[in-house]
Amino acid sequence: MLIPLKDENPTKNFPLFTIILIASNTLIFLYQISQPMAIASTFNTFGLIPVNLIESPISTYPTIYSSMFLHSGITHLAGNMLYLWIFGNNIEDILGKFRFVIFYLVCGTLASLGHILTDLQSEIPMVGASGAISGILGAYLVLFPFARVKTLVFLGFFITIIRIPSIILLIIWIMFQVFSGVVFGDGDVAWFAHIGGFVAGMLLILPFQDLKNDSLSY
């Protein structure tokens, strides 16, 4: 198992919106756990339920976005926020604050569609920022494939920290998502949302970067 700890890829600007996203997700999660009896109803109301979106798209499309700020548990939240902190600040640095937020939400939207298309009749709420953050990972792979990432490695009883290029870490990550999606399907984890978000991030990061460059030229 590989757990990234820190990338060696300094930024020029303060990652304001990366921090705002982390704080927002954390505060919403703290509110969730303060209302334990209401968690199920919260997920059913604000989580993304594919069959509801298919049957009533106009009234339920906001759940595409509300679901990105809900998490099913502390490990779910912590894992997502760790990846967002390590990789998000560099993407925000490249795109600028406004475009970074739009990019994040667009990747999250396309990730949600990737999940929906695997089971149009699913009644299980999907929650979590994983799809949007997967888009950040895809973007990072395109822009910074050789940036070194300090990574905690578990091999049985052997535990160590190594520095590896992001291309190795992120290819291993996406291969695991694809393997899990094919073998296990979208059960407790929305694997195809991760895959959809990652592909979206890879495909969209350069056009988004060009938009920033074009706007700076005027």
| pLDDT block averages, 10 residues each, the chain of length 218 | 95 97 97 88 95 93 96 96 98 96 98 92 94 98 98 90 97 96 83 97 96 58
Instruction: Name the CA radius of gyration of the chain, rounded.
Output: 17
Q: Does residue 144 lie in a domain region?
A: no
**What pLDDT is recorded for position 215?**
57
CATH number of the domain within which 32 lies: 1.20.1540.10
Run of H or E residues at 6: strand 2-7
Give CA 74 to chain center in angstroms: 16
pLDDT of residue 214: 62
Structural tokens at position 1: 């198992």
pTM: 0.93
- The pLDDT, as a whole number, for residue 217 is 41
Residue 216, SS3 per DSSP = helix
Catalytic residue list contains 194: yes
Residue 161, SS3 per DSSP? strand
> Does residue 211 lie within any of the structural domains?
yes
Residue 177 inside a domain? The answer is: no
Instruction: Give the model's pLDDT for residue 37.
Output: 80
pLDDT value for 213: 66
The SS3 of residue 73 is coil
Strand 158-165's sheet: what is its strand order?
A: 2-7, 148-155, 158-165
Q: What is d(CA 2, CA 186) in angstroms, rounded to the nearest whole number?
A: 22
CA–CA gap between residue 72 and residue 93 (Å, rounded)? 30
Domain count, the chain: 1
Place of tokens 């939207």: 109
Residue 75 in any domain: the answer is yes
Residue 120's domain comprises 11-136+191-216
Tell me, yes or no, whether 178 lies in a domain: no
**Residue 24 domain flag:** yes
Tell me which of 112, 130, 134, 166 is the catalytic residue.
130
126 lies in a domain? yes
User: Is 17:97 a contact under the CB 8 Å cutoff?
Assistant: yes
What's the CA gap between 199 and 138, in Å, rounded? Answer: 6
Alpha carbon 181 to chain centroid, angstroms: 16
129: which residues sit within 8 A by CB, 6+ positions away? 21, 25, 68, 69, 71, 80, 81, 84, 108
pLDDT value at position 218? 41
* Three-state SS at 156: coil
